[in-house]
Amino acid sequence: MHIVVCIKQVPDSAQIRIHPVTNTIMRQGVPAIINPFDLFSLEEALRLKDKVGARVTVLTMGPPMAETSLRKALSLGADDAVLLTDRKFAGSDTLATSYALTSAIQKLAEEEPVDIVFCGKQTVDGDTAQVGPGIATRLGFEQLTYITRIEDLNIASKEIVVQRRSEGGVQVLKTRLPCMITMLEGTNTIRFGKMDDLFRAARYDLKTWSRDFTGAEETRVGLKGSPTVVSKVFVPKPRAEKAKMIVADADTPDAQAAAAIDAIFGAQPKLADDLLARAAAGL
């Protein structure tokens, strides 16, 4: 069985600082990590490998420095790693990104057919949750998002039973490989790597693939291949009026609390009525 896990290298803290004068993003000095949502999918892939035996290939698209995340994934137990990197990919939106990643997965499938693609539920920097479904749709794989548990996987019949989180409940789905899975957060805990995997990861000869190599069409990647454009980036405007500051008679918590309640009920008389009615009803 061949499992491909798509990961993304993201800035460690989502709280990237903004330059106070120029309002631009200051990325310098922000350490990079594997997107935390991807780790739940990586762990699930490694568990399947432990249980039924599989080759796990990690794949990322990004700048050359994304190599760090691939080596980290190798140290946790992934067998192979592919870095899809090309200046032509810069500026890709989710449609172009899923196209580029699909071209690499198809290339991997030439070596050994791919049975399962795992993706993170979403990234912490983009938050779109669109790339996984994009890949599934392009590959024609069954799409299994927000999975909380893999109940059963039968290699012989290629059948898989999973639990999927939906609004108001959990769907139990039975389907056939090949499929694309995104795991819900908190469903497992990423393992610690073994010492020999750590050494192997450090020495591993990373596969670095370009757009030419995977055969992705130039017009379908990067800015050219992206239907969406960011037309404006801005810091949200403060409300026209700032908060009305509450001034208490005395500098004590009790006086401040009393003044705050007066201000609340003054601004929202209806709220006071609601609360009093509810209290009177003994709720």
111 vs 171, beta carbon nearer another protein: 171
Rg (CA), the chain: 25
What residue type is 239 in one-letter code?
R
Give the residue, chosen from 43, 80, 93, 115, that forms a contact with another protein under the rule CB under 8 A.
93
The reply on whether position 129 binds another protein by CB under 8 A is yes
The reply on whether position 18 binds another protein by CB under 8 A is yes
What's the CA gap between 133 and 155, in Å, rounded? 24
CB of 108 to another protein, least distance (A): 20
CB of 201 to another protein, least distance (A): 25
- Contact stretch for another protein (CB under 8 A) within 80-88, 109-117, 143-151, 197-205: 143-151
79 vs 185, beta carbon nearer another protein: 185
The reply on whether position 21 binds another protein by CB under 8 A is no
What's the CA gap between 20 and 23, in Å, rounded? 6
Contact 58, 72 (CB under 8 A): no
Phi, psi torsion values for 182, nearest 5 degrees = -115, 130
What's the CA gap between 191 and 211, in Å, rounded? 33
Give the residue, chosen from 146, 183, 197, 211, that forms a contact with another protein under the rule CB under 8 A.
146
The reply on whether position 234 binds another protein by CB under 8 A is yes
The reply on whether position 226 binds another protein by CB under 8 A is yes
CB of 139 to another protein, least distance (A): 10
77 vs 178, beta carbon nearer another protein: 178
Residue 98: closest CA among 132, 57, 146, 53: 132
The sign of the CA dihedral 76, 104, 120, 116 is: negative
